[in-house]
Structure 1
Amino acid sequence: MYKKKNPHPASIRKSEATPLGQVINEMFDAYHLNRKVDQTQVVNLWPKIMGKAIASRTKGVFMKDSKLFVTVESSALKQELHMSKERIIYLFREELGKEVVKEIVLL
């Protein structure tokens, strides 16, 4: 026999009016978009968190899962960032209000 599937949470109609912000948050939850938004925020915050001097010497900042990958041009800067990994993770946690970056990989 044919078994009826449960509807996707984002497609269920509600009888009362819902604030737009709540609808957007429910949609993000239903489609698992929060993680991507968080990752994009981390990449966009890199220059603010690290400052212009360091940001200008780093290329290819991207995230995969909870790892932040940073390509560094200078070996001295790479060593400095390596020693500051925990502090950088802390700065992102403070800025975003949650732990998005769990590891930093320097390339």
Structure 2
Amino acid sequence: MYKKKNPHPASIRKSEATPLGQVINEMFDAYHLNKKVDHTQVVNLWPKLMGKTIANHTKGVFMKDNKLFITVESSALKHELHMNKEKIIHMFKEKLGKEVVKEIVLL
């Protein structure tokens, strides 16, 4: 017997006008894009929050599973970042208004 599937939430038409911002938020929720946008924001914020000096000595900044991976060129800088992991996580939380970075991994 053929079972009819429920329509995707993003494809359901509404009878009244909806603000564009709300529509975009609903689409992001429907297509599970919020996490990817958050991760992109973290990577883009890295040089702004850390400053040019630190950003120039860190390479390969990327996010995976709420972990921020950072490749560090200098062992002294790696040690300094290691000692300030919690502070850095707090800075991202403050800037983004939510906890996106839960752990920092230094490579």
Do Structure 1 and Structure 2 share a fold, with TM-score over 0.5?
Answer: yes
Provide the secondary structure at the position in 1 that maps to 2:98. coil
> TM-score, length-normalised on structure 1?
0.99
Aligned-pair identity (%): 86
Find the counterpart in structure 1 of residue 3 from structure 2: 3
Distance 1:66 1:105 in 2: 11
Distance 1:84 1:91 in 2: 11
Distance 2:11 2:65 in 1: 27
Deviation at 1:65, TM superposition (A): 1.0
The 5-angstrom pairing of residues 8-19 of structure 1 reads 8-19=8-19
Residue by residue, what CA displacement relative to the aligned partner does 1:6-65 show, whole Å, maximum 9, x if unpaired? 000000000111111110000000000000000000000001111111001000000001
Q: CA RMSD in A?
A: 0.4
Find the counterpart in structure 1 of residue 80 from structure 2: 80
Distance 1:93 1:22 in 2: 23
Deviation at 1:4, TM superposition (A): 0.6
Runs of 4+ aligned residues of structure 1 deviating over 6 Å after TM superposition are: none
Find the counterpart in structure 2 of residue 41 from structure 1: 41
Note the residue ranges of structure 1 that are not aligned, 5 or more in a row. none
Provide the secondary structure at the position in 2 that maps to 1:32. coil
Note the residue ranges of structure 2 that are not aligned, 5 or more in a row. none
> TM-score, length-normalised on structure 2?
0.99
